[in-house]
Amino acid sequence: MSPDEARRILAEADLLCSEQESALAVRRVAGEIAARLRDANPLVLAVMGGAVVFTGALLPQLDFPLDFDYLHVTRYGDVTVGGRLHWVVEPRTEVAGRCVLVVDDILDEGVTMAAIVQRLRDQGAAQVLSAVFAEKDLGRDKPIAADFVGLRLPNRYVFGYGMDVKGAWRNLPAVYAVKGM
């Protein structure tokens, strides 16, 4: 997408969650995670590339010992419709016997998160929890529920705070919805 097209999409988009609301959601989730995992020495796994913004804001607010690594699994790439699950990078850190917290940008249909959680369980993780910056309300059941959710969003095409529109605007500190989608 050209920079001009990206700017047009942003200019026409609906603001769903401001920068301040996003920061408050992260702070609340950090508190919930700390209350539950403070003594667990968890392995925190960020799902690249969407989770980079949420993870970067979340980690400094977790005031307890933890290990950090990442994984990269995608169903989307730069397209807007999910396809076959593609494992790009597996975690380098051993998960067997560990409490693992998977951090991602959004729980949309839940297919990717469900597959990640199952794979970690298959690798012997003692406990697998998930934290998402946002969960989209699809009006139907999903194969997994996140343990920690920052924001609940309507069923629209959203971007910002790690979520992209055709590869652009992951870097925005707020959440927007594409006009007409």
User: pLDDT tens for residues 33-80?
Assistant: 999 999 999 999 999 989 999 999 999 999 999 999 999 987 654 444
Q: So what's the pLDDT on residue 82?
A: 53
**Of 132, 70, 145, whose CA–CA distance to 104 is shortest?**
132
Q: So what's the pLDDT on residue 67?
A: 98
Beta strands in the chain (DSSP E): 14-17, 43-48, 67-74, 86-89, 99-107, 127-136, 148-153, 158-159, 175-177
Q: pTM for this structure?
A: 0.92
Q: So what's the pLDDT on residue 11?
A: 96
Q: How many CA atoms within 13 Å lie on the side-chain side of 100?
A: 29
The residue ranges of the chain whose pLDDT is under 70 are 75-83, 181
In contact, 43 and 99? CB cutoff 8 Å = yes
Number of residues that make up the chain = 181
Q: So what's the pLDDT on residue 79?
A: 47
Compute the distance between CA of residue 181 and CA of residue 126 in angstroms, rounded to an integer. Answer: 40
- The residue behind tokens 């977790």 is 62
Please check whether the domain covering 3-175 is classified as CATH 3.30.1490.20: no
